[in-house]
Chain A
Amino acid sequence: MPDTPALKITDLRFRYPAPREGEAFELSMPSLSLAQGEQMLLAARSGGGKSTLLNLICGLMDPDSGSIEIAGQNIHALRGPARDRFRGRSIGMVFQTFNLLTGFSAAENVMAAMMFSAIPASEHRGRALELLASLGIANPHEEAENLSVGQQQRVAVARAVACDPVIVLADEPTASLDPENAANAVDLLEKACQARNASLLCVSHDPTIASRFTRRESLAIAGAAL
């Protein structure tokens, strides 16, 4: 449904296991909504709970209370393989260090995302090559670790949008880049998401990219990391 938000967080609370007695940390976020196709920067300081938030959105961690809906589906209401399937089909993820599969080519990295989707296997290769070509990768059969940092980032973006996800989560996508490349990386992410009408939630503490987003929130404002 077009009016259903891509991401809707309601009364989210997650209590970290205390590393030492007397210390307790809690992530809380009363509400956050991201419309379909909308792009947003969620600023957070280092250690401010952003990775935890992303893991909760992905369904890799369970909240203590509250709910997270992706396109109207409460991800934590799903169990086991159903949740994994849903994550693979609805959520794209871009990591700070790309986390490409070593020993696999650029095309295989993109096809790896499609392995767990509903896309017919016969279409995987064509879609991957087309996607990589559109992102300027001329050598899709080169092993990922042999590509330049910029190319690796493109492959990571291609993998994130390969299954036409509802939302792409980017975790510090510019942390290891210089300002010029950081701007290019954000540009690439924005355009790739726009092209597939995927929402983009970029979590970063990099102030230089803040101006790229029309909607900017702070994790501290949106919720709290205590």
Chain B
Amino acid sequence: MAMTDWTIVTRSLRTRFFSTATTVVSVAVAVGLMLVLLMLQASGRKAFERGTGNVHLLVSRDASGLVSVLNGMFYAGAPLKPVTYAEYERIAGSLPLEWAVPVQLGDSYKGQWPVLATSPEFFTKFRPAEDATWTFAQGAAFAKDFELVVGAAAARATGLRIGSRVVLTHGAASSRASGVAGHEHGEFQYTVVGVLEPTGTPHDRALFSNLNSSWLIHAVDRLEREHAAGEHDDMDDHEHHDHASVSEKDLIDADRKITNIYLRVATRPGQDASAAVPVVMEHLRRHPEFQAAPLTVAGPVQEIRRLDAIVGNINQLLVIMAAVVMASSGVGIMLALYNSMQQRQRQIAVLRVLGASRGRIFGLIITESAFIGVLGAGVGLGVGMIGAQIATGVLRVRLGISISPETSPLILAYIFLMTLALSVLAGLVPAIMAYRTSVWRNLRPVA
């Protein structure tokens, strides 16, 4: 094969293999980082929207709709103020709803696995995502008090299976809804009766029990507090309020607390949206009954979009940082070529004597720089795609958020062309050096 400009470019890169390889790696890391950020940016928002399931409205007494959604559907923290079960019953019975599911959050297993106490309708009416339904890998939903269903990720991480007996932490450390600090009731042992299939939503990290179990523990705590305050003179020791002595008949309205209500407004068959949603929202917000202690009524999808608008700035910052990393890798290309110019001036001079024009020498260096960029972009795009898969795997396992990284051809082309442009730009200074190389000075015999 004849010698070509391409032969000179590739040989030059091969001769400086270490420098070339490190420069390519630095470009690849920058490109990979940029790709992962751009891919996750778009698909992350969709994953959050997906995680709100088929809920139209979320009712709570959190400080804002966004906090309500993050706490009530993504288990970000324990809600601050409760909603009474009586309020739930009034809401469920007075509005044109397809269904309303009460939810109580605040308890946990081993401090890190949230426990959601709810009604059986949670598994029959509520869908964790538009494209997912509840499926049991083992067992079935709870039917009695102190029975527990475990989400897929929680089961995998904790090793809980059918028949496992556990004690829950009642009143998570951050919870104020329960009015008590996190503590365990060893006398209340839950039995695992069901393990769920993965849904790709945050619910995979949760454990589920019925409301009554949680209320009974509340009742014990309340009775203990009352006893300590001397309100129950006829009860002279704590033994009166243990697991054996407290039953459903001991429950009062103050025990029957929930933290959220998942609502779905009645829709026409086959339709997801309903014009009644804003009407119900306004009704709940303005109803005189709730003016003393206003409810927070949130549209989960809208709140997630608001969140995206807020964190969008942070995303932009991250993308800018990735762009800075890319720019620094461009500087790396320039330095690698610039340093090589010191050693290659004789070679350039020889090529000039053999008939190479200044423009052709300039083109050789630009081609070399662009090739480093193309190699780095190729490796980086591959690494980025693998990295995005790993990142989404970690998010799925750790947070239960299922993100499908989007590999839009437009994004790939954009990153590739940006890297190419950057590498060409980086090659300009060395190429100008090569262009201006003095032939006769560099062909002098070396002393």
Complex Cα–Cα for A102 and B349 (A): 13
Determine whether B356 belongs to the interface, using a CB cutoff of 8 Å to chain A: yes
Complex Cα–Cα for A88 and B354 (A): 5
Contact indicator A116/B15 (Cβ below 8 Å): no
Complex Cα–Cα for A122 and B357 (A): 22
Question: How far is the CB of B18 from the nearest CB of chain A, in Å?
Answer: 14
Given contacts A51-B444, A112-B3, contact A87 B11 (CB under 8 A): no
Cβ contacts B345-363/A at 8 Å (1 or 0 each): 0110111111111111000
Question: How far is the CB of A9 from the nearest CB of chain B, in Å?
Answer: 18
Given contacts A81-B359, A99-B350, contact A55 B11 (CB under 8 A): no
Cβ contacts B425-447/A at 8 Å (1 or 0 each): 00000000000000110011110
Leading 5 A-B pairs by shortest Cβ distance: A88-B355, A116-B355, A81-B357, A124-B2, A111-B3
Tell me the nearest residue of chain A to B4, going by C-beta.
A115
Question: How far is the CB of B355 from the nearest CB of chain A, in Å?
Answer: 2
Most buried by A among B350, B351, B358, B360: B350
Q: A80 — which chain B residues lie within 8 A by C-beta?
A: 357-359
Contact indicator A99/B351 (Cβ below 8 Å): no
Given contacts A103-B11, A114-B3, A115-B3, contact A55 B357 (CB under 8 A): no
Tell me the nearest residue of chain A to B438, going by C-beta.
A60
Contact indicator B354/A125 (Cβ below 8 Å): no
Given contacts A60-B353, A81-B359, A117-B355, contact A103 B346 (CB under 8 A): no
Interface-side segment among A89-97, A133-141, A195-203: A89-97
Contact indicator B2/A103 (Cβ below 8 Å): no
Q: Which of B1, B352, B355, B357 touches A89 (beta carbons < 8 Å)?
A: B355
- Contact count band on B: 20 to 34
Given contacts A60-B353, A84-B352, contact A103 B443 (CB under 8 A): no
Apart from A84-B358, A99-B353, list 12 A-B contacts with CB within 8 A: A58-B353, A81-B360, A88-B354, A88-B356, A95-B445, A99-B349, A103-B15, A112-B351, A113-B355, A114-B3, A115-B2, A172-B445
Contact indicator B440/A85 (Cβ below 8 Å): no
Contact indicator A116/B2 (Cβ below 8 Å): no
Complex Cα–Cα for A58 and B352 (A): 10
Determine whether B133 belongs to the interface, using a CB cutoff of 8 Å to chain A: no
Which residues of chain B from 338 to 390 have any CB-CB distance to chain A below 8 Å in the complex? 346-347, 349-360
Q: A159 — which chain B residues lie within 8 A by C-beta?
A: 354
Q: B349 — which chain A residues lie within 8 A by C-beta?
A: 99
Determine whether B64 belongs to the interface, using a CB cutoff of 8 Å to chain A: no
Q: B7 — which chain A residues lie within 8 A by C-beta?
A: 108
Complex Cα–Cα for A111 and B14 (A): 19
Question: How far is the CB of B100 from the nearest CB of chain A, in Å?
Answer: 77
Q: A114 — which chain B residues lie within 8 A by C-beta?
A: 2-3
26 interchain pairs (CB within 8 A)? Answer: A60-B353, A80-B357, A80-B358, A84-B356, A85-B357, A87-B355, A93-B354, A96-B445, A97-B445, A101-B347, A102-B15, A103-B11, A104-B11, A108-B3, A111-B2, A114-B2, A114-B3, A115-B3, A115-B4, A115-B354, A115-B356, A116-B355, A117-B355, A121-B2, A124-B3, A175-B445
Cβ contacts B1-25/A at 8 Å (1 or 0 each): 1111101100110110000000000
Q: B11 — which chain A residues lie within 8 A by C-beta?
A: 103-104
Q: A96 — which chain B residues lie within 8 A by C-beta?
A: 445
Complex Cα–Cα for A81 and B444 (A): 23
Question: How far is the CB of B93 from the nearest CB of chain A, in Å?
Answer: 85
Complex Cα–Cα for A122 and B5 (A): 15
Tell me the nearest residue of chain B to A93, going by C-beta.
B353
Q: Which of B1, B14, B347, B351 touches A125 (beta carbons < 8 Å)?
A: B1
Question: How far is the CB of B367 from the nearest CB of chain A, in Å?
Answer: 14
Q: B354 — which chain A residues lie within 8 A by C-beta?
A: 88, 93, 112-113, 115-116, 159
Complex Cα–Cα for A102 and B359 (A): 22
Q: B440 — which chain A residues lie within 8 A by C-beta?
A: 51-52, 55, 60-61
Q: A58 — which chain B residues lie within 8 A by C-beta?
A: 353
Cβ contacts A20-64/B at 8 Å (1 or 0 each): 000000000000000000000000000000011001001011000
Contact indicator A87/B445 (Cβ below 8 Å): no
Q: B12 — which chain A residues lie within 8 A by C-beta?
A: 103
Complex Cα–Cα for A121 and B2 (A): 6
Contact indicator B445/A60 (Cβ below 8 Å): no
Complex Cα–Cα for A93 and B352 (A): 11
Q: A99 — which chain B residues lie within 8 A by C-beta?
A: 346, 349-350, 353, 443
Cβ contacts A151-183/B at 8 Å (1 or 0 each): 000000001000000000000100110000000
Tell me the nearest residue of chain B to A162, going by C-beta.
B354
Complex Cα–Cα for A111 and B347 (A): 15
Question: How far is the CB of B9 from the nearest CB of chain A, in Å?
Answer: 12
Tell me the nearest residue of chain A to B14, going by C-beta.
A103
